[in-house]
Structure 1
Amino acid sequence: MSNSNPSQTLTFKLVLLGDGRVGKTSLVLRYVNNVFSEKQEATVQASYLTKRLVIEGVPINLSIWDTAGQERFHALGPIYYRDADAALLVYDITDNDTFVRVRNWVKELQQMSPKTIVMAIAANKSDLVRSKKFDLQEAEGYAASIGARIVVTSAKLGTGIDEVFLDIATRALQNKKSSAPGFSQTPPRKGMLTVDDEPEREPQPKCCS
């Protein structure tokens, strides 16, 4: 086993982008603090939370920037994502217009951010789809074309959220390994993912309904 520097903590900056009201803040609060509110206030400019993880023995601080989705704050976007390691693009699975906006955000990211940026797409509010048969064909094809992963999420039910954030952090770590020759951790293998959850609030038991 490799133990190059187990005490070295990596920090990755993750920015959330998407239209207003698609549930970006709710996703972050569910992920970091395991809380959900039906009456979540709209984000003004941006808010910032951190999450500590351990992936393949590497301690990671995920610095999560939750940006405002309202059009009047759009010009502020580049301030937050210019030096981001990763971006989570969120849309409302019941509102195709918000998916169109995701495409626009991606175009901006590709122009303004580092070429190595990790991208993932969250198809949020899946709890509002009665049939549970999600039409993701277009979204999956688009995600593949930009090298992103798409995950169906629900901040209300807490589904898909750990999965999408872990995917982002794992790929950001792989980017770091490939770009830093001295970073000689063991190569990632499936089944080696460990999580050290340290929410800001008291940990609550995680159970499935």
Structure 2
Amino acid sequence: MATMGQNTRNAKLVLLGDMGAGKSSLVLRFVKGQFFEFQESTIGAAFFSQTLAVGDETLKFEIWDTAGQERYHSLAPMYYRGAAAAIIVYDITSTDSFARAKKWVQELQKQGNPNMVMTLAGNKADLADKREVPVEVLPLLLCAYIYCRIAFFFMSSCYSDIMPSDREMLLDQVPRVHSPNAGRFDLSSPSVPTMNSKKQWWNLEARAYAEEIGLFFIETSAKTAANVNDIFYEIAKRLPRAQPAQNPAGMVLVERPTEGSQAASCCA
């Protein structure tokens, strides 16, 4: 068990995201170690607190779990105003949930604390077989890049000089993406690349999106507790360290008398 440090400070943290993304389940797992298969929707917001030991410092998270229903959206600024950190939660089985998470990020970028530590959490990782938001984008981007380069070459005049057998050999050198969630390209077809799921094609992949705008990204499962504690510890490490007081302890500042004034006598 970690030993609490001598220096203690508080940090306000807010959870935002679509209804049903699992915000309350994440907090309950982190604070109480509990998980309920059927969690009631939060009304307005719920408050929790949890203390962590980070290095020589003790950090107390003051956590606001906000409601995901649209009718409570107008209340959100009251909870994220002045927050040191935010966890934007989405459900990996719902592209709509991911799209909503991106809107929350945009809102925080415009109206939130400019120094806020923002984290994008893809929850329900235990339902990976029902995933709609792909996590691995690098193979996809690589194939897209190669596709464009080869398509340009094939449309050039020199392509007509290549023997049919050599054309097939070139195509065989192009790596295929075998992941069922990453998408497939048919490079022998003149049509544009297609995805296994239309929902995947229009949506930016979560990890690439987070890296593009400088967010910390992690996938979690409140049900299995996977990465739940890690996300809060990572946020704690990324928070700016508390600044020392401007005046050393014990020093008392006394107003300097104006020029020409006489010091008061203790016996006057």
What TM-score do the two structures reach when normalised by structure 2?
0.62
Q: How far did 1:8 drift?
A: 2.7
Cα distance in 1, alignment partners of residues 21 and 92 from structure 2: 9
Alignment match, 1:121 = 120
Distance (Å, rounded) in 2 between the aligned partners of 1:149 and 1:78: 22
Q: Report how far residue 145 of structure 1 moved.
A: 2.1
Asked if 1 retains the 8 angstrom alpha-carbon contact of 2:87 and 2:119, the reply is: yes
Question: C-alpha offsets along residues 120-150 of structure 1, whole Å, 9 cap, x if unaligned?
Answer: 1110011112389x82231111111222111
1:21 alignment partner in structure 2 = 20
* In 2, Cα distance between equivalents of 1:65 and 1:131: 29
Which protein shows a greater Rg? 2
User: Per-residue CA shift, 1:138-196, capped at 9, x if unaligned?
Assistant: 11111112221111111111101011111111111xx235xx2669xxxxxxxxxxxxx
The equivalent position to 1:152 in structure 2, one of 214, 219, 234, is: 219
- Shift of the alpha carbon at 1:104? 0.5
The residue that corresponds to 1:143 in the other structure is 210
Higher relative contact order (CA 8 A, sep 6+): 1
Aligned residue in 1 for 2:106: 107
Any idea what SS the aligned residue of 1:9 has? strand
Kindly report the root-mean-square deviation, in angstroms, between the aligned alpha carbons of the 2 structures.
1.9
Separation in structure 1 between the aligned mates of residue 114 and residue 212 of structure 2, nearest angstrom: 15
In structure 2, distance between residues paired with 1:41 and 1:169: 28
| TM-score where L is the length of structure 1 | 0.79
Identical pairs, percent: 44
Q: How many residues were matched structurally?
A: 174
Alignment-derived partner of residue 229 in structure 2: 162
Question: Matched residues in 2 for 1:26 and 1:64: separation?
Answer: 13
Query: Taking structure 1 as reference, are residues 130 and 106 closer, same or farther at Cα in structure 2, changes over 3 Å only?
Result: same
Q: Secondary structure at the match of 1:129?
A: helix
Deviations 1:45-92 (A, max 9, x none): 000101111101101101111000000000111000011000000000
Structure 1 residues 156 and 7: alpha-carbon distance in aligned structure 2, compared to 1, 3 A threshold = same
Q: 2 CA distance for matches of 1:7 and 1:42?
A: 38
1:89 equivalent in structure 2: 88
Distance (whole Å) between structure 2 residues aligned to residue 59 and residue 160 of structure 1 = 21
Once residues 135 and 102 of structure 1 are traced to their aligned partners in structure 2, the CA distance between those partners, rounded to angstroms, is 15
* Structure-2 change in CA distance of 1:130 and 1:116 (3 Å): same
Any stretches of 5+ residues in structure 1 without a counterpart? Answer: 1-5, 184-209
